[in-house]
Structure 1
Amino acid sequence: MPKLWNETIEAHRREVREAILDATRALTTERGLLSVTMSQIAEHAGIGRATLYKYFPDVKAILHAWHHQHVVAHLEHLSALRAESSDPGEQLRAILSAYALICHQRARHAAELSALLHQSQDVDQAQHQVHDLISEVLAEVAQTGALRDDVPVDELATYCLHALAAAADLTSESAAHRLVTVTLAGLHY
């Protein structure tokens, strides 16, 4: 097959896959996570059921793919925030604030999505990546002398993750921002 043909086919496959994920997101938002069927997804995406089954065996597989895409986007966003400033303290505040908002927004999808998807390796791997990112920034903050030195950086990163996970239970984004302020205060004497 000519290279152009392969590229065209791959581009088409990506577009169909994105249409499937977008349709699933829209339908689950509208009808609920456990109320969506493969037929509804195919219709909403503008493809036949047979085509849909070529991409995914069931709704759960589509939800896993959508969730994976979502997790990757969050990780990329957190990493990009680090690159926006050369000051480690500003990097830390930006990353922790974004993470708190991610936790807060996740609460909207909470029960159903968590039960279905949050037992995956993607989530565990993402948590480790976020932990490592926060640990690295904390180590840089420690070099400036602006971080408590009685607790290892690794433990402080764990503290941040667990403290900010509480944002899922908060009622507003401003409450999530206040939680970030409290969390940051705990990192200093």
Structure 2
Amino acid sequence: MPKIIGASLHEHREQTRRRLFGALSTLMSERGFDAITLADIAAAAGVGRTAVYNHFPDKESLLLGFITHETEQYAAGLQASLDDIDDPVEQLRAYVRAQASLTRVYHVAPGPELRSVLSRGAQQRVREHVGVVEQILRRILAAGIASGELPEQDLATTVPLVNACLTGRNLPDGADEREQAIAQTEAFVLRAVGARVPVTA
């Protein structure tokens, strides 16, 4: 009988999933999704290959589980940080900074883009999970419009445009250059949605 990790079966399952997600993330960043197998992931996670199938039937399902987990964790942390901010424009600043700084390993992994190796159904599920974060932006913008801080606008158009500015950008490695790039992105987005932003030198 396989050794149980943790104090209970539930904890064992959660720890095993975290190990698999960590191994997938590391291997994907090193080789790309298409170049790794479930056996590679199991070995890197330190679990038996048959144990993987107790959680995920195939590599694509594992990737979707990983993306779901990462998105939910990120969205919860982002929302918690925004709950302490009352001003919608300041919330938008925080959102832009968080999104601009976020490294999405499943977007920047080497090899073919994931869209080219995932089935259509899997692509749709990934899109649905991205929508969790988009809903946060939608709520921020709606609050800004309601308060008069932002002009009326079609959020169905604005939300994807804003996120398109923030997704998949390569920021400079240097701290000063990185901060400047994020600050310029922040100013661009604020101007794009019509926020009253003071002009700085």
Instruction: Normalising by structure 1, report the TM-score.
Output: 0.77
Contact 2:88 2:143 in 1 (8 A): yes
Provide the identity percentage. Answer: 24
Identify, as 1 or 2, the structure richer in helix.
Answer: 1
Q: Tell me which residue corresponds to 2:54.
A: 54
Q: Tell me which residue corresponds to 2:164.
A: 162
Q: Tell me which residue corresponds to 2:143.
A: 140
What is the 5 A alignment of 1:12-23? Answer: 12-23=12-23
AA aligned to 1:75 is A
Verify: 1:175 aligned to 2:181, yes or no.
yes
Contact 1:82 1:94 in 2 (8 A): yes
Per-residue Cα deviation, 1:70-118 (whole angstroms, up to 9, x for no partner): 2222322332232121222111111122123337776522743343359
What SS class does the counterpart of residue 57 from structure 2 fall into? coil
The count of residues paired between Structure 1 and Structure 2 equals 180
Give unmatched runs, 5+ long, in structure 1: 1-6
What SS class does the counterpart of residue 120 from structure 1 fall into? helix
Q: Tell me which residue corresponds to 2:116.
A: 115
Deviation of 1:52 after TM superposition, in Å, equals 2.2
- Rounded Cα–Cα distance in structure 2 between residues aligned with 1:153 and 1:19: 38
- Rounded Cα–Cα distance in structure 2 between residues aligned with 1:82 and 1:121: 28
**Cα-Cα RMSD:** 2.8
- Rounded Cα–Cα distance in structure 2 between residues aligned with 1:180 and 1:45: 38
Q: Tell me which residue corresponds to 1:65.
A: 65
Per-residue Cα deviation, 1:32-81 (whole angstroms, up to 9, x for no partner): 32221222222222222222222222222222211221222232233223
Contact 1:164 1:183 in 2 (8 A): no
Q: Tell me which residue corresponds to 1:4.
A: none
AA aligned to 1:115 is S
Please list every run of at least 4 consecutive aligned residues from structure 1 whose deviation after the TM superposition is greater than 4 angstroms: 103-107
- Rounded Cα–Cα distance in structure 2 between residues aligned with 1:93 and 1:132: 16
The 1:74–1:122 alpha-carbon spacing in structure 2 relative to 1, beyond 3 Å, is: farther
Deviation of 1:148 after TM superposition, in Å, equals 2.3
The 1:176–1:113 alpha-carbon spacing in structure 2 relative to 1, beyond 3 Å, is: farther
Contact 1:104 1:170 in 2 (8 A): no
- Rounded Cα–Cα distance in structure 1 between residues aligned with 2:13 and 2:169: 39
Q: Tell me which residue corresponds to 1:45.
A: 45
The 1:74–1:49 alpha-carbon spacing in structure 2 relative to 1, beyond 3 Å, is: same
